[in-house]
Amino acid sequence: MISLQISQVDFSYLDGLVLHKIDLSVKAGEIVGLLGPNGSGKTTLLKLASGILKPAQGEIRLDGYSISQLSRKYIARKVAVVPQQFHIPFAFTTGEIVMLGRTPFLRALAEESEADRRLVNNALELVGISELAERRFNELSGGERQKVILAMALAQQPKLLLLDEPTVHLDIAHQMEILELVRELNTGQGLTIIAAMHDLNLASLYFDRLILLKEGRVWADGTPNQVLTEARISEVFSALVRVEQHPLTGTPHIVIMPKGSANHQK
């Protein structure tokens, strides 16, 4: 079981304040989408949650423990991160990359065990890329690479999975595939999931709870229906949209209104 509590967190890079007084908690088993314009602090918030950035103010607790007190190794056994892209300069095979997910569990001079290999095979299977195991990571397509990194994260056997825009740069079929998988990890495996998302419609379809950030503050937090309103979206993104209902799921469906289209409405 894992829960994440972020209380009164401020964070700034050298050139300015990025997050202000962030307060939010995520309970074990939740699936949460982080939304907000570019630069609103989504990625920074994920980096704080994984402990690789330290808050200037406030505290982040993982399972009740202050994350600043936990070793990287301990965190890596509980929390896995799927960043947007990896560039890997050497010719590792897919199987070797997924095995890297076992790093926090391996002792320096030990060999990986049968159990480690089984976990890697399970992760490859779960993500549906067993047939890629012997292929070189650098030769794969963007969608395949994203799946490999996801499989690597799963080999960590995390309780909390953080994803940074997992569908960016992917075509619509791969977007669906990744998000269906993430959803399945949440309902089937009980993983707690927080994902930064840029596509509002995908976020609305696949996440139970959405957190909307604007200029480093939490602007809205709730179900897709509560968060994705026309007023909020125009406030936060300064974009003209109409919110309709998805014909199958009933969740909000955002329709972009091109400039000049207002005239056609009447």
Residues 148-177 that bind other proteins (CB under 8 A): 156
The nearer residue to other proteins, 92 or 219, going by C-beta atoms, is: 92
- Count of residues that interact with other proteins, criterion CB under 8 A: 34
Nearest distance from residue 109's CB to other proteins, in Å?
7
Residues 238, 214: contact at Cβ < 8 Å?
A: no
Residues 91-150 that bind other proteins (CB under 8 A): 91-93, 96, 100-101, 103-104, 106, 108-109, 111, 136, 138-139
21 scored as a contact of other proteins (CB under 8 A): no
77 scored as a contact of other proteins (CB under 8 A): yes
Residues 204-233 that bind other proteins (CB under 8 A): none
Nearest distance from residue 137's CB to other proteins, in Å?
9
2 scored as a contact of other proteins (CB under 8 A): no
Q: For other proteins, which residue of 15, 69, 90, 260 counts as binding (CB under 8 A)?
A: 90
Q: Footprint of other proteins on this chain (CB under 8 A)?
A: 14, 50, 52, 71-77, 80-81, 83, 86-93, 96, 100-101, 103-104, 106, 108-109, 111, 136, 138-139, 156
